[in-house]
Structure 1
Amino acid sequence: MEPMQQHPSRSTPTEHRWPSVVALVVALALYAALPNDFLGSQRFVVVVFGVALLVPLVVTNPHRLTRRSSFTKWISIALVCGLVVANQLTIVLLIIALAVDGVDDAHGLLLAAVQVWVANVIAFALLYWELDRGGPVTRTMTARVDLPAADLRFPQDVDDDAVTEVAARSSVVRDWMPRFVDYFYTALSTSMAFSATDAMPLSPRFKLLMALQAFGGFVILALVIARSVSILG
């Protein structure tokens, strides 16, 4: 598969592959390290599934995201959706362990909660990154007039009429496009504030996704972590 040619109207650099790969590896490592009492051998199914799907994605775009095909795009989206679903099921298992099984291993429960919370942030960051404006390849390679409608509005998208030093980083002046780190920060702040902070959701699907992420973060904080601290006390 030959690299795509960036449209002449675009000046934004193409995106590196490694930030998303590192984040995904961290999420899978967290699953592998979960205590056996809270998630048994099922966690390794998630890890193997993630690694198996990660291989063709890295082979297609080993350094910079300049190649695109419907096959790799849907594999990537399927991988991230699987990780999001698996993480929501893990949250349910933690709640069952807490409310039904009466688990009193505070240290194990707290460790599992932190691991699941971090993995949840990474999973949603990857999902936002894969879906918004057609994905990472389309965002930097395609003419803006041909981009799909945005799912998120970042501050840089509306800063072109601000003071000079702020406008210099705007989408209009600099051809700015969100990178993985921007979606990671959005996912992180959503999990901590339980609402949109940096980027505002524009589409119904992203409003629902951010609501699901915020709810999951709230459940982990309010029930699992709070219960762990209570047991420790």
Structure 2
Amino acid sequence: MSRRRADAPATHPRHERRGEARAPAVVATLTAITLYLALPQQLLVAPRYVLPALEVLLLLPLIAINPRRLTRQTKTFRILSLTLVLLIVISNLVALGILVHELLNAQVEDGRALLVAALQVWLTNVIAFGLAYWELDRGGPVSRTQLPRDQLPLADFRFSQDENDDAVGEVADGASGTSDWVPSLPDYLYVSVTNSTAFSPTDTMPLSTRAKLLMSVQSVSALLTSLLVIARAVSILH
């Protein structure tokens, strides 16, 4: 039998008010920080441990506020979480800019190190923008699970589940209007991966201006990494 909105409190985690698990976001953030730490020194704008240490300092109070599940949100929590994501995004874009500058204006001898650095920047790009989409869409991860749907801020992204209410039963049962589905971090990381590989939206469409701008910046940076940086590194290897 098809699940209905009236049954959602018993069948869907959103209405249990448990919130998203904290661990996936922590793992993604620490992965991005580790990738930055492993970059060559010439791609860093500050001493190697300065930015990672600052990012960890921003992450710790976020874990303290919501240690296991994301259920509480204060103004301070929101500012800290957005600042952390912004710092990761900007530091990685700066590293990409320096990498491109080094390729265009310097003699590059170590092609293998350059190729590894390019892959690190690309992967960090995927994680950073996935976290950014996750933090911004519909008010962020806390709002998406804790607020009634009619009180959610306007969506930045339209997922396929938001349009599947009139599909066949096994598809419609998982749709937003039927099961009260909302996206979680893996959904936004998937959006980020597809945007970084296809350089355009695939099954998830940006709705707001800020979402379109973010996806544009990500696409251009991924394109630079893929076509210019990696291509030049491979040519050096030969």
Q: TM-score range by the shorter chain?
A: over 0.9
Pick the aligned partner of 1:57 from 43, 62, 70.
62
Provide the C-alpha distance between the structure 1 equivalents of 2:49 and 2:225, rounded to a whole number of angstroms: 22
Tell me the distance in 2 between the aligned counterparts of 1:45 and 1:152: 34
1:38: how far off? 3.3
Q: Deviations over 1:170-224 (max 9, x none)?
A: 0011110000000000001100000011310000110010000000000001110
Match of 1:4 in 2: none
Q: Which amino acid aligns with 2:91?
A: A
Query: Match of 2:108?
Result: 103
8 Å Cα contact 2:36-2:92 kept in structure 1: no
- Does structure 2 conserve the Cα–Cα contact (< 8 Å) formed by 1:113 and 1:225? yes
> Is the contact between residue 31 and residue 44 of structure 1 (CA under 8 Å) also seen in structure 2?
no
Pairs within 5 Å for 1:78-227: 78-227=83-232
Mapped to 2, the partners of 1:163 and 1:197 lie a distance apart of 22
CA contact (8 A) 2:41 2:48 kept: no
Where structure 1 has 5 or more consecutive residues not aligned to the other structure, the ranges are 1-8
Report the Cα offset of residue 40 of structure 1: 6.7
Whether 1:12 and 2:17 are equivalent positions in the alignment is no
> 1:151 offset after TM fit, Å?
0.3
Q: Distance in 1 between matches of 2:108 and 2:51?
A: 24
Deviations for 1:30-56, whole angstroms, at most 9, x for unmatched residues? 011112343375442221111010000
Superposition CA RMSD, Å: 1.5
Q: 1:47 is matched with which residue?
A: 52
Following TM superposition, by how much is the alpha carbon of 1:104 offset from its aligned partner in structure 2, in angstroms?
Answer: 2.4
TM-score, scaled to structure 2: 0.91
SS of the equivalent of 1:165 reads helix
The Cα offsets for residues 87-144 of structure 1, whole Å up to 9 and x where unpaired, read as 1111100011111112121011001000011011111011100000000010011011
TM-score, normalised to structure 1's length? 0.93
Q: Is contact 1:186-1:196 (8 Å) kept?
A: yes
| SS of equivalent to 1:138 | helix
Q: Given the alignment, which residue of 59, 68, 77 partners 1:72?
A: 77
Number of equivalent positions:
226
Q: Is the 8 A contact 1:12 1:177 kept in 2?
A: no
| % identical equivalent positions | 48
- Could you say what secondary structure the match of 1:198 adopts? coil
Aligned to 1:23: 28
Equivalent of 1:32, from 27, 37, 60? 37
Deviations 1:53-101 (A, max 9, x none): 0000000001111111010111100110111111111110001111111
- C-alpha distance in 1, partners of 2:56/2:160? 34
